[in-house]
């Protein structure tokens, strides 16, 4: 997947911001979602849902599914891994490539040619190396593990915003990486002074 990146924060693109689904979003996959936009340009957009935890899978389960928890490729034993880390949630990043893992994280972890810097000290890495680093205590301070991503073709996201499908606001580390996933939707709306009960479907 090609990562699209714009460096100009005032170019009209929303890379590095949060998309907030309107309450009457018809696509149930995105109902009450908050999406961090990792890339946005005239070639399309890509982001990760940051408030939908996957059922029945945590970091330890993810390592096991990837064959990194036992055998010759094991990177750390479950006995050596802190319980808080082993039980760290995995998020539903979006409906595209749901078997592929992504890590949204703080910029204190960076690997040349593997890590994509976005904005505001937030980065994206999609290689197994970062999982190894996390498991061995050498990963970033803040991280969000996701399977799959949300993607838009050229002009699609702009059309959905014009059709009153999404709001957007500035992102911050606490909202992205906070463990309280259920509160992220209302907190994101509060950042732009919106009460969900006052929203209507028509622009």
Contact partners, residue 23, CB within 8 Å, separation at least 6: 32, 196, 199
**Eight-state DSSP code of residue 10:** T
Whole-model pTM: value is: 0.88
Q: According to the model, what pLDDT value does residue 71 have?
A: 59
33-91 pLDDT, tens digit per residue, is 999 999 999 999 999 999 999 998 999 898 888 877 665 556 666 667 788 888 999 99
Distance CA 166, CA 161 (A): 5
């Amino acid at each position: 997947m090609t990562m699209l990146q714009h460096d100009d924060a005032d170019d009209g693109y929303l890379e590095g911001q949060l998309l907030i689904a309107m309450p009457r979003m018809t696509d149930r996959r995105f109902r009450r979602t908050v999406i961090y936009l990792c890339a946005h340009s005239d070639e399309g957009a890509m982001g990760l849902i940051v408030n939908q935890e996957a059922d029945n899978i945590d970091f330890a389960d993810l390592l096991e599914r990837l064959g990194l928890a036992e055998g010759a490729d094991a990177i750390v034993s479950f006995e050596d891994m802190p319980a808080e880390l082993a039980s760290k949630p995995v998020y539903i990043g979006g409906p595209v490539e749901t078997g592929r893992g992504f890590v949204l994280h703080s910029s204190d972890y960076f690997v040349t040619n593997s890590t994509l810097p976005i904005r505001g000290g937030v980065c994206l890495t999609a290689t197994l190396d970062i999982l190894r680093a996390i498991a061995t205590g050498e990963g970033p301070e803040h991280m969000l593990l996701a399977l799959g991503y949300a993607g838009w073709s050229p002009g699609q996201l702009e059309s959905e915003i014009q059709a009153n499908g999404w709001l957007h606001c500035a992102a911050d580390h606490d909202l992205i990486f906070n463990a309280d996933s259920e509160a992220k939707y209302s907190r994101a709306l509060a950042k732009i002074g919106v009460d969900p009960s006052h929203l209507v479907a028509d622009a």
